[in-house]
Amino acid sequence: MSGMASDHNNSSQEEYIPHYLQKEDPFASKLSREADIIAGFYLTVIGILSTLGNGYVIFMSSKRKKKLRPAEIMTVNLAVCDLGISVVGKPFSIISFFCHRWMFGWMGCRWYGWAGFFFGCGSLITMTAVSLDRYLKICHLSYGTWLKRHHAFICLAIIWAYATFWATVPFAGVGSYAPEPFGTSCTLDWWLAQASVAGQVFVLSILFFCLLFPTAVIVFSYVKIILKVKSSTKEVSHYDTRIQNSHILEMKLTKVAMLICAGFLIAWIPYAVVSVWSAFGRPDSVPIQFSVIPTLLAKSAAMYNPIIYQVIDCKFACCRPGGLKAKSSSKKSR
C-alpha cells in the first residue's frame, strides 16, 4: 500500500504543470485593465516616495560618513537595499501594470526576480544584524562597547555575500524565477515544490535561511531587550554620566530598529504565507485576484523606513538636517 501511495505521489508531481506553462502567453495579465492601472499608480507613488526618502537618508549620511556609528552604518545599508528595490525593480513592474502584461520576456523576468530577492534578502539580513547589535548594546553593555566601525564593515561584506549566494542559487539549476500568477510581475518559482522533491528542498531552504531563521533572531533579540529594559535603569545608574547618556541614545536607536523590523515583517509575512500556500497547498488554490494584494503590500516595505527615521526623535544626523548642528554635550555623549 505504501508503495502504491508513493507511486501516486510521484505521478501527481510529474503530472503537475505550473501556471506559467499552462497557457501560451504566461506574461499576459490575468487582472482587469482597471485593476492593473490602479496597481500601476500605487507602485508609482510607492516608488517615488521610497526613492526620495531613502536617497535623502543616504545623502545626509554621506555628509558625515566618517562619523557614522556602527548602527548608523547598518541603517544606511538598509536604505541602500530599499533604494535598490525602488530603482532597479519597480520600473519593470510599473511599466508592465500600465501595459496590462509583462513587457520584458523571460530574461527580464529572471533579472527582476533576482533583483527583488537579492535586495529583499539583503534588507532582512541587515535588520537581523541590527537586532543583534541592539541586543549586545542593551543587554550586554560591556560586550557592546567592543563593536566598532570595522566590525560593521565586515558585517556588511557578510550580508552582501549572503544575499548574493541565495539570490543566485536558482541559476545553478536547483530553482528558478517565474511569473506571478497574475502575469505582470516575477518572483521565485515557489511552484517547483509541486513538481518534485528537489523543488520542495529548494523552497524549504529559501524559507528557512532567508525568512524563518532571520526572523527568529530578530524576535529573540527584541524580546530579550524588552525584558532587559525593565531593570536597565538601576544597572545603568552605576555608570558615569557619559555612559548613561550613551545608553539613552542606544535605546532611541533600538526603538527605530524595532519599528523598522516590525514594518518590514508586516509587509512581507502575508506574501510569505501566500507563497508557502502556493508551494505546498493544492495547485492553483490561491485565487489570482487575492495573490496580487500581498505582492503589492510587500513592494511597499521600502517606503516605510525613511518615514520611521523622521518620526522617531533620535540623534541620527542622517534622519534630519539639524543633526549636524547638535549641541556639544550631545556630541560628547556620542
| 227 within domain boundaries | yes
Cβ contact 260:304 at 8 Å? yes
List per-residue pLDDT tens for the chain, 334 residues long.
444 444 444 444 456 677 677 767 889 998 999 999 999 999 999 999 999 999 988 998 888 888 888 878 888 999 999 999 999 889 999 999 999 999 999 999 999 999 999 999 999 999 999 888 888 887 877 766 667 788 889 999 999 999 999 999 999 888 889 999 898 999 999 888 888 888 889 999 999 999 999 999 998 988 888 887 766 655 555 555 555 556 566 667 677 778 888 888 888 889 988 888 888 877 667 788 788 999 998 888 888 877 776 655 444 444 444 444 444 444 444 3
Rounded distance between C-alpha atoms, residue 191 and residue 276, angstroms: 9
**Residues 6+ away with beta carbon under 8 Å from 295:** 180, 182, 185, 187, 271
Rounded distance between C-alpha atoms, residue 168 and residue 135, angstroms: 31
State which H helix or E strand residue 188 sits in. Answer: strand 186-188
Nearest residue to 162 via CA among 138, 127, 111: 127
How distant, in Å, are the alpha carbons of 222, 255, 321 from that of 139?
A: 10, 14, 31
Q: 33 is in which domain, residue-wise? A: 26-233+241-316
| 7 within domain boundaries | no
Nearest residue to 292 via CA among 207, 137, 204, 180: 180
| 132 within domain boundaries | yes
Q: What is the CATH number of the domain that holds 263?
A: 1.20.1070.10
75 CA to centre of own chain: 13
Nearest residue to 295 via CA among 183, 203, 194: 183
Rounded to 5°, the CA angle 255-257-259 comes to 70
Structural domain count, the chain? 1
| 11 within domain boundaries | no
| 285 within domain boundaries | yes
pLDDT of residue 35: 93
| 301 within domain boundaries | yes
pLDDT of residue 331: 42
| 98 within domain boundaries | yes
| 91 within domain boundaries | yes
Rounded distance between C-alpha atoms, residue 178 and residue 188, angstroms: 6
Rounded distance between C-alpha atoms, residue 322 and residue 98, angstroms: 40
